[in-house]
């Protein structure tokens, strides 16, 4: 037996090897308000509900009260009405899964149901389609990442159980043409979900936007993650739905077993109330004015960075991002010696202490290819370091300008392709070892560009299997 002190020392050591969760050095995954008192408040709120079981809000009535108040706040923010009901979920993915589960249950068509969405829709909808056995019909977007409404509208048919559009979509921060699409969906009686997981708590305070929330006629549900721009610890999102009866099919209930009667609003049974208590406390502390101030500062930082990047020769911002995130691509209009590969750039930024997120090139269903990009998510804390980040971007750009990016075909040539069709745990591990990707004890390799090139080179089914092996081995005792 170890003493509590020893145990916590060990945890501190482990934590010290994590990517930094504060200070804005990691430009994805974490959403730092830059307000230490907010973290302290959240921690105290979590401690107060630590032993509570969120499974049963009739026994733990604090859970019902906090859920009600968070839903009310979100409903006002996203312009719902008396007909808007809500669910507190464990995060964006669960909100997406539940929106699909609900539409699947409500679907009355004769054919196999489908989800219709632009190809930039979040991967959680691929997961939902797989889990709940719906077809996923992905509509190609233009080279600037933007969806043309007509291309999606023409694919609506009697098998469409759900249309999903985003505010904004994660990869390039594109705001989908929500008004146009929702109007047609409404006329055709198709449910229309707005995925505002990343935008939902900050776009309400973003200047000069068209309507994108529950004000738009035809939008039947919307999701907004509190563990993103709600600044709450991980494990909480809100899913709002128009119409009680529509939403009730999202629940699971059974009295048909010998145990306690089960009523679940979400996928989990027993669950923590900690993220709920933290989010509830943060909402009460910030109020709309607090969120507004944080959004304004984030908007300023984002504008500064966008302007700076457009001044870096060799890079370009993809399309017209909406909100505090964007993707950076190579400027192909320049000569090869002035171009910058966004992945080499991101890896160089990494060695300078700034972690941006690499996104591989993506081949759409119609054969067109969206380029490799580097994604950055900006949070309030960046205000304190935006000059430093701009300088690092410039330095990284100078260091890799003119260096050709990793060629996926060359990665492919280095592989023994014979084993690919029958990949198993053993052969996948051998392949990963050959690529120098098998030993992850100290975290993923600094050169993520190589991993991305591998993903670009391989058919998705193979890269997916390899990545599963990589992750599974990571936690083998």
| Residue 225 engages ligand PLP in binding (rule: CB under 6 A) | yes
| Residue 452 engages ligand PLP in binding (rule: CB under 6 A) | no
CB-based contacts of 219, cutoff 8 Å, min separation 6: 178, 182, 192, 193, 194, 213, 242
| Residue 377 engages ligand PLP in binding (rule: CB under 6 A) | no
Integer Cα distance of 20 and 429 in angstroms: 29
Contact 330, 340 (CB under 8 A): yes
33 preceded by cis ω (within 30°)? no
- Name the one range near ligand PLP by CB under 6 A: 132-140, 194-202, 253-261, 293-301: 194-202
| Residue 236 engages ligand PLP in binding (rule: CB under 6 A) | no
Closest CA to 159 of 188, 139, 122: 188
> Residue 262: which H helix or E strand, with range?
strand 262-264
Minimum CB distance to ligand PLP, residue 468 (Å)? 18
Closest residue to bound ligand PLP by CB: 92
| Residue 91 engages ligand PLP in binding (rule: CB under 6 A) | yes
Minimum CB distance to ligand PLP, residue 171 (Å)? 9
| Residue 213 engages ligand PLP in binding (rule: CB under 6 A) | no
Q: Residue 104 half-sphere exposure, CB side, CA atoms within 13 Å?
A: 21
| Residue 31 engages ligand PLP in binding (rule: CB under 6 A) | no
Minimum CB distance to ligand PLP, residue 311 (Å)? 28
Contact 305, 376 (CB under 8 A): yes
In this structure, what are the phi and psi dihedrals at residue 136, rounded to the nearest 5 degrees?
-110, 110
Integer Cα distance of 83 and 138 in angstroms: 31
Three-state SS for 240?
strand
CB-based contacts of 244, cutoff 8 Å, min separation 6: 83, 85
Task: Give residues 95-154 in contact with ligand PLP (rule: CB under 6 A).
Answer: 96, 122, 124
Task: Give residues 162-181 in contact with ligand PLP (rule: CB under 6 A).
Answer: 166, 170
Minimum CB distance to ligand PLP, residue 238 (Å)? 12
Minimum CB distance to ligand PLP, residue 199 (Å)? 7
- Name the one range near ligand PLP by CB under 6 A: 3-11, 90-98, 126-134, 253-261: 90-98
Q: Quick one: 166 or 266, whose CB is closer to ligand PLP?
A: 166
- The residues that touch ligand PLP, with contacts defined as CB under 6 A, are 91-93, 96, 122, 124, 166, 170, 195, 197-198, 225
């Amino acid at each position: 037996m170890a003493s509590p002190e020893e145990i916590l020392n060990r945890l501190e050591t482990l934590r010290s090897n994590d990517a930094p969760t504060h200070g804005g050095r990691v430009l994805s995954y974490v959403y730092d308000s830059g307000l230490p008192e907010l973290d302290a408040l959240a921690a105290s709120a979590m401690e107060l509900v630590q032993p509570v079981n969120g499974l049963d809000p009739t026994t733990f009535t604090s859970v019902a009260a906090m859920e009600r108040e968070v839903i009310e706040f979100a409903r006002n923010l996203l312009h719902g009405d008396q007909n808007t009901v809500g669910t507190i979920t464990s995060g964006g993915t669960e909100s997406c899964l539940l929106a699909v589960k609900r539409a699947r249950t409500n679907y009355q068509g004769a054919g196999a149901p489908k989800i219709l969405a632009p190809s930039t829709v979040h991967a959680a909808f691929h997961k939902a389609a797989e889990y709940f056995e719906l077809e996923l019909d992905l509509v190609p977007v233009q080279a600037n990442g933007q969806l043309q409404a007509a291309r999606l509208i023409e694919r609506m048919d009697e098998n469409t159980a759900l249309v999903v559009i985003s505010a904004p979509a994660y990869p390039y921060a594109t705001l989908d043409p929500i008004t146009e699409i929702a109007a047609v969906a409404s006329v055709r009686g198709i449910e229309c979900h707005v995925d505002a997981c990343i935008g939902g708590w900050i776009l309400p305070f973003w200047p000069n936007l068209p309507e994108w929330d529950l004000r738009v006629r035809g939008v039947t549900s919307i999701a907004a993650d509190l563990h993103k721009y709600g600044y709450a610890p991980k494990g909480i999102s809100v899913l709002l739905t128009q119409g009680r009866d529509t939403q009730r099919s999202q629940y699971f209930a059974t009295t048909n077993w010998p145990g306690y009667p089960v009523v679940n609003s979400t996928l989990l049974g027993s669950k923590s109330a900690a993220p709920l208590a933290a989010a509830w406390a943060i909402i009460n502390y910030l109020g709309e004015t607090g969120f507004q101030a944080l959004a304004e500062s984030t908007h300023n930082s984002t504008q500064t960075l966008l302007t700076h990047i457009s001044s870096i020769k060799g890079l370009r911002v993809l399309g017209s991002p909406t909100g505090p995130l964007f993707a950076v691509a190579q400027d192909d209009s320049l000569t090869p010696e002035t171009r910058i590969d966004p992945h080499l750039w991101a890896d160089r930024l990494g060695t300078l202490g700034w972690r941006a997120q690499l996104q591989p090139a993506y081949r759409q269903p119609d054969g067109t290819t969206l380029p490799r990009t580097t994604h950055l998510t900006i949070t309030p804390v960046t205000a304190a370091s935006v000059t430093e980040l701009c300088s690092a971007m410039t330095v990284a750009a100078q260091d890799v300008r003119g260096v050709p990016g990793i060629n996926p075909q060359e990665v492919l040539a280095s592989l023994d392709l014979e084993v690919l069709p029958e990949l198993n745990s053993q052969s996948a591990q051998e392949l990963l070892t050959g690529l120098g990707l098998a030993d992850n004890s100290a975290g993923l390799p600094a050169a993520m560009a190589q991993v991305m090139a591998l993903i670009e080179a391989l058919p998705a089914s193979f890269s997916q299997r390899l990545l599963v092996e990589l992750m599974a081995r990571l936690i083998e005792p």
